[in-house]
Structure 1
Amino acid sequence: MMAAYVDILKNEFPQIDSELFDYITGVLGSGGSDFEDAEDVFDAIGGFLQDVGDKNEDDIREICFQMFSSLQLTKCNSGQQQMLLDTPVQLSQVSADTASSANEVQGIWMVRRNQNTTVDAKKLEKAEAKLKAKHERRYEKDSQKTASPLVLEEASASQASSKKDTRVDSSGKNRSYDVRIENFDVSFGERCLLQGTELCLSSGRRYGLIGRNGLGKTTLLKMLASRSLHVPSHITILHVEQEVAGDDTMALQSVLESDSVREGLLKEEHLLNAHIANGTSDGLESVRLSEIYAKLEEIEADKAPARASVILAGLGFSPKMQQQETKEFSGGWRMRLALARALFARPDLLLLDEPTNMLDVRAILWLENYLQTWQSTILVVSHDRNFLNAVVTDIIHLHSQRLESYRGDYENFIKTKEDRLKNQQREYEAQLQYREHIQVFIDRFRYNANRAAQVQSKLKLLEKLPELKPLEKESEVVLRFPDNFEKLSPPILQLDEVEFYYTPDQRLFTGLCVSADLESRICIVGENGAGKSTVLKLLMGELTPINGTRHAHRNLKIGYFSQHHVDQLDLNVCSIELLLKRFPGHTEEEYRHQLGRYGITGELSTRPVASLSGGQKSRVAFAQMTMPSPNFYILDEPTNHLDMETIEALAKALNIFKGGVVLVSHDERLIRLVCKELWVCESGRVQRVDGGFDEYRDILQEQFRREGYL
């Protein structure tokens, strides 16, 4: 049976002063039910125990852990009854002001000190204040939790509208498909995301919207889609945001139904033919039918099923899947279906938010080729550098609460931006030098009566010069994976002749043989459903092989990043609380430092996780994954939602890391920067491609040509 905390205190500190003994047992005895963990016990009494004997901090923490455990056991056995102490304990006088500010928080036991006590009075007062403050914070936190549920902020937009543009738009005479929105603001809650900026989209051009995580790219798309920002009413908009709702409709039919014009004409044709067949025609139906047939021929309605099928096939839907009901698909496939519907409907303005997140490399390559011939306007948010280079004609850069446009693809944007920054720096230095030259003249002749008129002239000139602002540079993104661990000797991790299936009639892998060590930088690619995530779970030991064996070094410590990491985060707490719950026993400063390694700093770390952007949530997941300092990382689609600067930083961090890395990714940039080995998961096998990503890309291009998708 575990010893009571009184006995632990006597045994570990036989020389303890009686006054201090009374104080500590009083605190533990009366406030035992308020301690959430051993760290609370250490905060309350650890400082005194360190002064009693020669024990170090780790020993004291261990003793506090034993005391906390005995308190929990006492609470369970006694139904939280108060323990009767061997000596009387008094409640020290608490000032009325302090009590009222804490909403009369009670239950802190303290001994009334006499003048002859050997206890350090200042330290005791400090400990009492610290414990009392902890009670107050806990009381406030509990009050907040019970007072109101989490309320998420909402986005809003405002703009200066032109009466002329409004009049032209309402008259129906505006036939232009260009979008021009001037002098508008976008906010999210109290935070201003865009201020006094403008957005110009020329019809038929393809724009890539880029910028750091959390600056408002997704919010801007939502404001356009909802027409909170003014887009001419005759311009049709489609925003691929929500997955298709699952019902009895077949996938192919769901895509066909997205063309509302075609569907309306077909329904009207069916109705008119029914009237004619029933003999209820008034003679005008035949005329209208002729008009409908002409319109159907004009929009090539008869070719629609074939076009819809090609789009679905390009996005990975087999002929069998195209005939499946939408309710049979997972969320990821329903998002692909939503993208297929948008591509088929061909809106005047297509808004895409991270379209490559839901796709494998094969589907991304097909989408790149398909969008290159897109006739109307596209505005796409994407972190995929290669995708932007293949698709867009213009870049819109969101930074410093404004939008800046650049002609050309992403690589051209990088070059042009660097040239602009160099020119701005030269201009800034020239202005600075000119100011200094004037100031030198003023300082030299300030008290020279003969030069007084010139000095005054120079002073006025200096005042008229525009305000000199230093060059605005975005801070560099730096990620770091801790690697303070010992080197492990091979074999580290391997699968030997593994057979695995979820159902016996569908064998996923047979004779699977793969291995990895601390030097490995392996990327696994393949179509969705080929088993990439299953291979990762077999490597981690989350899944047990039906046959064959998994070998793992006894000191192997794996960190896992799931592509569904957001689903595993508690969205109702802040990032600091998230780490506290998962890894108790650290200080708030340590949690802040850990989050800061991944760019979650300042007020970001105290905001509810639900209010963070997708990329910021990914960073929180990285902070959580690396907290225990693993020596091997298994990453499943780690780049989803990350901005390009963070992807570059992630690649650098993985290259510097001294442990092993196996990742599943569709991001060509990350694969090229990090991976030394490329494994292709296909047809129940995992094969190494010696030519790397270039060879894999060539294989896919050849498949497209053979299947007629290019």
Structure 2
Amino acid sequence: MSLINLRNLGITLSSPLFSGLNLSVNAGDRIGIVAANGRGKSTLLKCIAGALDASEGEITRSRGLTIGMVEQNVPPALMQASFREAVLQALPADQIDSESWRADVALEGMEVPEELRERPLAALSGGWQRLALIARAWVTEPDALLLDEPTNHLDLAKIALLEDWLNALPRDMPVILSSHDRAFLDTVTNRTLFLRPENSQAFSLPYARARAALNEADAADAKRYERDIKTADQLRRQAAKLKNIGINSGSDLLVVKTKQLKERAEKLEDAARPAHLERSAGAIRLANRGTHAKVLVTLEDAAVTTPDGTLLFKTGKQFICQGDRIVLLGRNGTGKTRLVTMLRRAIADPSVTIGGIKATPTLILGYGDQSLADLDDRQTPHETIIHRFDIGDQKARSLLAGIGITVEMQARPVAELSGGQKARLGLLALRLREPNFYLLDEPTNHLDIDGQEALESELMAHQASGLLVSHDRSFVRAVGTRFWVIDKKKLIEVEGPEEFFAASRS
């Protein structure tokens, strides 16, 4: 039975986000919405929830259907409320006293530790804030659930918790979610909507299989495009010949025929452009300067500690060699970021050994962190590039346009960029340094799926060397050549990441 129907739905802001969208949401559907950053996923969810009116088309919902909506950000008014209070406040005011047990059930379902339940949301991590928003939606007992980027800020353990929680929901409850986490989409969805400005495509398949089906459809679309463009070219050549004959002979009939051929060519060209050639969110490119050194970094049983000197783990004798893309795995708080910091210091000053870490002098570091702290929010993107690199004004503008930052946005402060735009700006700065060693801490956090896949392709195409920290299982599987796990205060090399991923669920 169809619970929500979208008919010819469209949203146009400065340009169409999507148009002519038709979708039926049935009991038991778990729909993943996939699109590039800023292409309408959040807008579509708000339309379905009734919080926003579409530019065209209509949405019908079953009589009495209630919808729980989880947006990306915590409302500022909730930040000082405790975890439990924030969930309670989602209930109608006249039910808070008598129905407070529902909040406790929701907190238990999210496995929220007792000691966190009375802490203000402002004092909790982004991951726990995200789970608080989900608990707020769930406590109202909705008939359908909408989730906007629910895995943002979650570590692997919390993603696993969320996956299990979603898969344990009543089987007939429809869930619609947007996400850039490919492994998450494969685990919790059974349908996939690829949202496009025109000709959005829906498949009754989870993400990976739907993406394969989409690629086949796009390939067929591309062949049709090439065929139609060739036909249009032939029509234009015929029109040009007839025009010359018509002028020389004075034939009105040939003039009319020429016009008809031109119109047919124009119609073919207008209709031909395939959906997968829509404007890009911005290209991602990397560089690799190369080095003749075989061993790039040596770790001589380095001790990784907290700022007050408490031991987190010891590395043992380890080497990072040319061509290695080592993925560092470990639960939050085990010392991953501390080791990354030590590696940065060692590469910055290869003349000394930093806490048992020695880098070869020929290393040129390409560093990127999950908070994009290397970017100054007060500078413009244009200033960010021309102040750091010896390139001209026009070259800088061309590079920024190539990563999807318009001329208008190039003159605004970095603070006004979206997370995806900031990530692409950070990766452009990384590329212009021409590093030969990459140190990347959660590099896919702000990238859409196209950006993630482009980054993966660039790292592998350039045979990049380095150490990576990531919670993105698809990214880890794609780019890792070696895997280190922090376990029981030791750094251990393992064959692959799957055992660690499985352990994160327990």
Deviation sequence 1:312-334 (CA, Å, 0-9, x none): x3xxx545444645443234432
Answer whether contact 2:127 2:152 (CA < 8 A) is retained. no
User: Counterparts of 1:571 and 1:304 in 2: how far apart (Å)?
Assistant: 39
Query: How has the CA–CA distance of structure 1 residues 369 and 520 changed in structure 2, closer, same or farther, with 3 Å as cutoff?
Result: same
Q: Show structure 1 runs of 5+ residues with no match.
A: 1-174, 270-295, 704-710
Deviation sequence 1:292-313 (CA, Å, 0-9, x none): xxxx7xxxx86763552231x3
Q: CA deviation at 1:388?
A: 1.3
Q: Does residue 184 in structure 1 map to residue 10 in structure 2?
A: yes
Query: How has the CA–CA distance of structure 1 residues 345 and 630 changed in structure 2, closer, same or farther, with 3 Å as cutoff?
Result: farther
Tell me which of 358, 365, 369 is aligned to 1:562. Answer: 369
User: Counterparts of 1:584 and 1:460 in 2: how far apart (Å)?
Assistant: 54
Query: How has the CA–CA distance of structure 1 residues 587 and 343 changed in structure 2, closer, same or farther, with 3 Å as cutoff?
Result: same
Question: Which residues in structure 2 correspond to 1:190-269 (within 5 Å)?
Answer: 190-195=14-19, 197=21, 200-222=24-46, 227-229=51-53, 235-243=66-74, 245-247=78-80, 249=82, 251=83, 253-254=84-85, 256-257=87-88, 260=91, 264-265=94-95, 267=97, 269=98
Tell me which of 272, 277, 285 is aligned to 1:474. Answer: 277
Ranked by relative contact order (alpha carbons within 8 Å, sequence separation 6 or more), the top structure is 2
Greater Rg by CA? 1
User: Counterparts of 2:283 and 2:260 in 1: how far apart (Å)?
Assistant: 45
Answer whether contact 1:361 1:525 (CA < 8 A) is retained. no
Q: Does residue 308 in structure 1 map to residue 141 in structure 2?
A: no
SS of the residue aligned with 1:502?
coil
Amino acid of the structure 1 residue aligned with 2:471? H
User: Counterparts of 1:489 and 1:428 in 2: how far apart (Å)?
Assistant: 47
State the partner residue of 2:461: 656
Question: Which residues in structure 2 correspond to 1:63-142 (within 5 Å)?
Answer: none
More moved, 404-413 vs 454-463: 454-463
Structure having the larger proportion of residues in strand: 2
Answer whether contact 1:632 1:661 (CA < 8 A) is retained. yes
Tell me which of 359, 364, 369 is aligned to 2:164. Answer: 369
Answer whether contact 2:284 2:427 (CA < 8 A) is retained. no
Query: How has the CA–CA distance of structure 1 residues 225 and 539 changed in structure 2, closer, same or farther, with 3 Å as cutoff?
Result: farther
Query: How has the CA–CA distance of structure 1 residues 626 and 496 changed in structure 2, closer, same or farther, with 3 Å as cutoff?
Result: farther
Query: How has the CA–CA distance of structure 1 residues 593 and 599 changed in structure 2, closer, same or farther, with 3 Å as cutoff?
Result: same
Query: How has the CA–CA distance of structure 1 residues 203 and 264 changed in structure 2, closer, same or farther, with 3 Å as cutoff?
Result: farther
Q: CA deviation at 1:195?
A: 4.6
Deviation sequence 1:484-537 (CA, Å, 0-9, x none): 343235352435331412345x54335665442332211122333332222211
Answer whether contact 2:286 2:458 (CA < 8 A) is retained. yes
Q: CA deviation at 1:196?
A: 5.5
Q: Does residue 337 in structure 1 map to residue 132 in structure 2?
A: yes
SS of the residue aligned with 1:357?
coil
Tell me which of 303, 326, 332 is aligned to 1:498. Answer: 303
Query: How has the CA–CA distance of structure 1 residues 521 and 423 changed in structure 2, closer, same or farther, with 3 Å as cutoff?
Result: closer
Aligned-pair Cα RMSD in Å: 4.2
Q: Show structure 2 runs of 5+ residues with no match.
A: none
User: Counterparts of 1:196 and 1:305 in 2: how far apart (Å)?
Assistant: 43
State the partner residue of 1:586: 391
State the partner residue of 2:356: 549
Answer whether contact 1:243 1:334 (CA < 8 A) is retained. yes
Amino acid of the structure 2 residue aligned with 1:524? L
Q: Does residue 393 in structure 1 map to residue 200 in structure 2?
A: no
Q: CA deviation at 1:550?
A: 2.6
User: Counterparts of 1:606 and 1:417 in 2: how far apart (Å)?
Assistant: 37
SS of the residue aligned with 2:130?
helix
Answer whether contact 2:11 2:18 (CA < 8 A) is retained. yes
User: Counterparts of 2:504 and 2:301 in 1: how far apart (Å)?
Assistant: 29
Query: How has the CA–CA distance of structure 1 residues 461 and 540 changed in structure 2, closer, same or farther, with 3 Å as cutoff?
Result: closer
User: Counterparts of 1:592 and 1:466 in 2: how far apart (Å)?
Assistant: 33
Answer whether contact 2:126 2:153 (CA < 8 A) is retained. no
Amino acid of the structure 2 residue aligned with 1:406? F
User: Counterparts of 2:434 and 2:225 in 1: how far apart (Å)?
Assistant: 45
Deviation sequence 1:152-202 (CA, Å, 0-9, x none): xxxxxxxxxxxxxxxxxxxxxxx9842536443231xx4443456556544
Answer whether contact 2:102 2:139 (CA < 8 A) is retained. no
Answer whether contact 1:498 1:513 (CA < 8 A) is retained. no
Q: CA deviation at 1:371?
A: 1.6
Deviation sequence 1:343-377 (CA, Å, 0-9, x none): 45443443323222311223223322322343433
State the partner residue of 1:533: 337
More moved, 368-377 vs 357-366: 368-377
Query: How has the CA–CA distance of structure 1 residues 348 and 574 changed in structure 2, closer, same or farther, with 3 Å as cutoff?
Result: farther
Q: CA deviation at 1:601?
A: 6.3
Q: CA deviation at 1:634?
A: 1.0
State the partner residue of 2:421: 616
State the partner residue of 2:214: 417
Q: TM-score, normalization: structure 2? A: 0.78
Structure having the larger proportion of residues in helix: 1
Q: TM-score, normalization: structure 1? A: 0.58
Q: CA deviation at 1:424?
A: 4.0
More moved, 399-408 vs 555-564: 399-408
State the partner residue of 1:380: 177
Amino acid of the structure 1 residue aligned with 2:277? E
Q: CA deviation at 1:679?
A: 2.0
Amino acid of the structure 2 residue aligned with 1:193? L
Tell me which of 424, 431, 445 is aligned to 1:626. Answer: 431
Query: How has the CA–CA distance of structure 1 residues 455 and 588 changed in structure 2, closer, same or farther, with 3 Å as cutoff?
Result: closer
Amino acid of the structure 2 residue aligned with 1:247? Q
User: Counterparts of 2:103 and 2:42 in 1: how far apart (Å)?
Assistant: 31
